[in-house]
Amino acid sequence: MTALSGVTLIVPTFNAGATVGTLLASLRREARSGTEIIVVDGASRDETRRRIEESGVAVAHLVSEPDRGIYDAINKGVRLASRELIGVLGADDELCEGALQAVSSAWRQGPTDLLAGRAYLARADGSAALRADEDYGPGALLSGIPFCHNAMFATAETYRKVGAYDLRYRLCADAQWVHRAIRQGCSCRQIEAPIVRFGHAGASSTNAEEIMRETYQIIRENFPALSPEDAACLFQAIRGWSDASGVGAVLQRHRADPELLLSAAAAFCSRARRLTPPGAAAPAPLLRRLRARWLPRLA
């Protein structure tokens, strides 16, 4: 059993004066001894900085300067971080009650590179729904990011190993970072505790077409032989957004790529488990039928 020495929370902001109040209130409520809060602001022109300075939240570093977007700001925060685990929160997010206690408890279960909790996804009408997370592993290389990035905590050593967020991706660099962690063999403990209520006002919630373009490009980065159309076909089928009629043909064309076939098998089996009623195990015959339907015969 290993006690957690401390957590760094990085908050990238830009013109967030209208939304940052809820986050600041949750930080006042949830921050524990050893919590380091770093705010990296992109030279906001509104009242963001004043609201933070007057909030009563103990901010260890408040940087305010022009940047190249949210992931540039997060990279700056990671370089400043000094605690054992590092997490990221959006300016319109809210830490759930007991979030950092849940992270600390999960950490005591033993060493891991990443911890990932659950997230409520806020809607414009004020309601929220629990995100349907997926398995961390090879299946995620086709299905996108397996959990909400803002419910993830990574060790400082893991950030050094995986590297910085890739600024080529304006909206989905977090998914690409997690995929790099998977490909490099980083471990992850997924926990059931809700960590964050993820806000709906950020760029990643309001630019669907660009998100899809970046998602397909990241999948093709994992599997370079895939065309954009192939990547879209597999992703949409795994997410349940299409009738999946083209999946067999895509996998047949790429049957010589064992890593792609493994990822597809893992992704579809993960989906089968998600669709199984709570408390019931996905029956083995169902998993065999999924493999038979979606994976080409290699013999």
pLDDT tens-digit profile of 167-178?
A: 999 999 999 999
Domain range annotation of the chain:
7-205, 223-294
- Cβ burial of 161 (10 Å; 0-12, 13-18, 19+) is middle
How confident is the model at residue 298, as a pLDDT?
38
The residues, any chain, with a CB within 8 Å of residue 178's CB and separated by 6 or more, are 136, 140, 145, 146, 149, 152
How confident is the model at residue 204, as a pLDDT?
55
Split the chain (299 residues) into runs of 10 and give each run's mean pLDDT: 87 97 97 94 97 96 97 98 97 97 95 97 92 94 97 98 98 98 97 94 72 97 98 95 92 95 91 68 54 47
How confident is the model at residue 241, as a pLDDT?
93
Beta-bridge mates of residue 194: 118
SS3 67: coil
How confident is the model at residue 2, as a pLDDT?
75
- Strand ranges, E, within the chain: 7-13, 35-41, 61-64, 85-88, 94-95, 114-122, 128-130, 152-155, 188-198
How confident is the model at residue 289, as a pLDDT?
56
The residues, any chain, with a CB within 8 Å of residue 116's CB and separated by 6 or more, are 133, 136, 146, 147, 148, 151, 152, 153, 188, 189, 190, 191
Output the CATH code of domain 7-205: 3.90.550.10
How confident is the model at residue 14, as a pLDDT?
97
pTM here is 0.91
